[in-house]
Structure 1
Amino acid sequence: MRLYAHDFIQMAVKSELGQDVDAALQRRLVEARSHAALMDARKGSGHLTALIERIRDEAPRFDGRAMLRGTDPGMAAQRRHRFLTKVADALVRPMTKPSSSLRAISVPTRNR
């Protein structure tokens, strides 16, 4: 599950840098749920919960290296936190068809 958490963190960085991560994010959410269900069946329950907890733990951590020039570090940290919190919230909700609710996870970068 650490791999999935890392992927979501990298998507937060890419989003901050202005890259479109919506499609990859939707795909990874589905894959994370599927993998958690598989691991629960093989090794015991709690894998999705562990992933959600890890994402929530990582959300407030910010090092400031992956930002566009001129970006306010405080605002970038807030966007990262909001992005990862929305990912964790999406994982908590029951699985539905990919919809605009998943697309809403992407956090817009600063005004240009």
Structure 2
Amino acid sequence: MGALLGRTRAAILEDVITGRTTGELAARFGISGAAASQHTAVLRRAGLLLSVRRSKYVLHTITQVGIALLEARLGPSVQRGPPEAGNVASSGQGRCPSRAGPPARRATTDPEATA
């Protein structure tokens, strides 16, 4: 999959199964927030992830298409939480402190969340 998407994008796609903010992705992969935002934009345009802005955070989660791509590569053992909004894998835990609505993913204090 790295040859298709590039190593960083393939790794990001695998990492957003339970949801990550832009700042979390930047920190986890040692890239700038702007670079993380560009990578997620490419994956989003390809229909592989969904990005939702919540206050100063942008939360990225994998779509069913992204899960299917990972399962084709890794087999059906891809770990995912219950779908939220019908097309997103999530862990079902809270993420952004100010997020309203149903329980989100995982709590974070992410000062570098961009785009």
Give the TM-score normalised by the residue count of structure 2.
Answer: 0.33
Structure with a larger share of its residues in strand: 2
Structure with a larger share of its residues in helix: 1
Give the TM-score normalised by the residue count of structure 1.
Answer: 0.34
Q: Which has the higher contact order (CA 8 A, sep 6+)?
A: 1
Largest Rg, 1 or 2: 1
